[in-house]
Structure 1
Amino acid sequence: MIDLHEFLDKMNPNQKINYDKILQKMIKNWQINNQRPKIMLHSCCAPCSTYTLEYLTKYADVTIYYANSNIHPRAEYQRREYVQQKFIHDFNQRTGNQVKFIAAPYQPQAYFENVRGLEKEPEGGKRCRACFTYRLDLVAAKAVELGFDYFGSTLTISPHKNSQVINSVGIEVQNFYATQYLPSDFKKNNGYHRSVEMCHEYDVYRQCYCGCIFAAKAQGINLPQIRQEALKFMAGKDGAREFPEIRFVYHDQEVLE
């Protein structure tokens, strides 16, 4: 598989990196060499996975890794996890793809430990970088454990997230694992606009805040109301029971976190 350093090392260290163009070059190399890599793709929510999956599944086999202990409250985490599973199920049925799903355990205390001292940072600041690092580290470790060629994230589709920061974090994380980081800027090429269209097409719930309690409070989000709405939404729902075919199986056993 291609290491993105093959492209980065040839560039002027002071120039802004176009990660979308690098991904396109990597995809071209896969096609030339008749490769269809396996990608472990972190997803924060179904909306961010919409266009991302539509794009990547043309060239690779993708498994979504839902690792988001930053999301608060727990009921909202569960709602987003369920919606993610339902979208994968619906997307596979509509397109004939076989995208798989794994969920990391919900461990909010681990998230709080990783952002300790950064609670008052503004949205998009050092706390976000620490959060990206925490989650991408989990994804890279899981990619190595399960033998994936690349790990990456859907986060770059959001116009509210800094793709330069996300990609630089991914490159740093790659240095500690025997897997390759997949560079991206999925908002490019009308990716974000397509994601909005797909949310309407698939009737996907779009949340009103990124997930963490700090950003929610800064935005004035009514978290008790969010919790009540999420609990009502989840009544009688069980993604594992309803969508068993999307569970990732490794050596004839389902991966359980």
Structure 2
Amino acid sequence: MPDGSNADGQRILLHSCCAPCSAAIVECMLSNGMRPTVYFSNSNIYPRKEYEIRKNEIIRFLKEQGVPFVEDSYDHDEWLREVKGYEGEPERGQRCSLCFEFRLRKAADYASENGFKWLTTTLASSRWKNIQQINEAGIRATVHTQVLFWQQNWRKGGLQERRNELLRQNAFYNQQYCGCEYSATRLKDFL
């Protein structure tokens, strides 16, 4: 645990973006005595069909693991208002920072209202994302709560390799873009 406390029985809210990024982290938490609850707050994902595919994949995995799943409301219009003016930003730019903070703030509010001490995110498992940017967004998102943001590089300690194994073993849907329409611009035929 980040504060040096015993992991046994610790309840942790894990913000999840998708099954491929979540599976190895959930497995790691469970094997270390933690009790994750997965929180799916991803109003950035577009189109809605893509959102449903990703949500259903993580639910399928979590049922097998006996891990609780909580879904935030999907409101893509609210997300668009949050990133308005930053549509043209590159990946890892200011739009992404706003997106991360928006989603993690919703997770932090849920964690605070439901007695979780810790919040972390699977966003920090993607090699396409800037971990410092994610950590800064997580800290900003939790500042108004008593919840602590667990800054963790989920790519290390064999987790990236395990992620890839679980992806194959579970035949997870593996998306080709982060989620929003701006990150999918290179996939013109998709949208």
TM-score using structure 2 length: 0.94
1:198-240 residue CA offsets vs partner (Å, 9 max, x unmatched): 11112211111111000101x234234xxxxxxxxxxxxxxxx
Aligned to 1:142: 110
Question: Aligned to 2:23, which of 28, 43, 50?
Answer: 50
CA contact (8 A) 1:30 1:36 kept: no
Deviations for 1:38-67, whole angstroms, at most 9, x for unmatched residues? Answer: 111100000110111111122311000010
In structure 2, stretches of 5+ residues that fail to align are none
CA separation in 2, counterparts of 1:195 and 1:35?
A: 23
* Pairwise CA distance, 1:68: 0.2
Aligned ranges 1:173-192 → 2 under 5 Å: 173-192=141-160
Task: Please give the residue correspondences for 1:51-130 in structure 2 after superposition, counting only pairs within 5 Å.
Answer: 51-57=24-30, 58-90=32-64, 92=65, 98-130=66-98
| Match status 1:196 vs 2:164 | yes
Aligned pair count? 190
> Is this contact kept in 1: 2:10–2:34, CA < 8 A?
yes
Q: CA deviation at 1:178?
A: 1.6
| CA shift for structure 1 position 35 | 4.8
* Paired letter, 1:222: D
Structure 1 residue ranges, 4+ long, deviating more than 4 angstroms after superposition? none
In 2, the alpha carbon distance for the partners of 1:61 and 1:35 equals 8
Q: Deviations over 1:94-143 (max 9, x none)?
A: xxxx3100111110011101100000000110000000000000000000
In 2, Cα distance between equivalents of 1:83 and 1:38: 23
8 Å CA contact 1:69, 1:107 repeated in 2? yes
C-alpha distance in structure 1 between counterparts of 2:37 and 2:188, whole Å: 31
CA distance in 1, matches of 2:169, 2:190: 28
CA distance in 1, matches of 2:163, 2:126: 9
**Aligned Cα RMSD in Å?**
1.4
SS in 2 for 1:206: coil
Gaps of 5+ in 1: 1-22, 93-97, 225-257
Task: For residue 182 of structure 1, report the CA deviation from its aligned partner.
Answer: 1.3
- Secondary structure at the counterpart of residue 82 of structure 1: helix
Residue 135 (structure 2) pairs with residue 167 (structure 1)? yes
1:198 maps to amino acid: L
Instruction: Encode CA deviations 1:143-183: one digit per residue, 9 max, x unaligned.
Output: 01111111110111110011111011111222111211111
Answer yes or no: is the 8 Å Cα contact 2:112–2:147 preserved in 1. Answer: yes
CA distance in 1, matches of 2:132, 2:61: 28
Task: Give percent identity, aligned residues only.
Answer: 34
Which structure is higher in helix share? 1
Please state if 1:41 is matched with 2:4. no
TM-score where L is the length of structure 1: 0.71
Cα 1:221–1:43 change in 2 (3 A) is farther
Distance 1:78 1:69 in 2: 11
| Counterpart residue identity of residue 201, structure 1 | Q
Aligned equivalents of 2:156, 2:84: Cα separation in 1: 33
* AA in 2 matched with 1:56: M
Shift of 1:30: 2.3
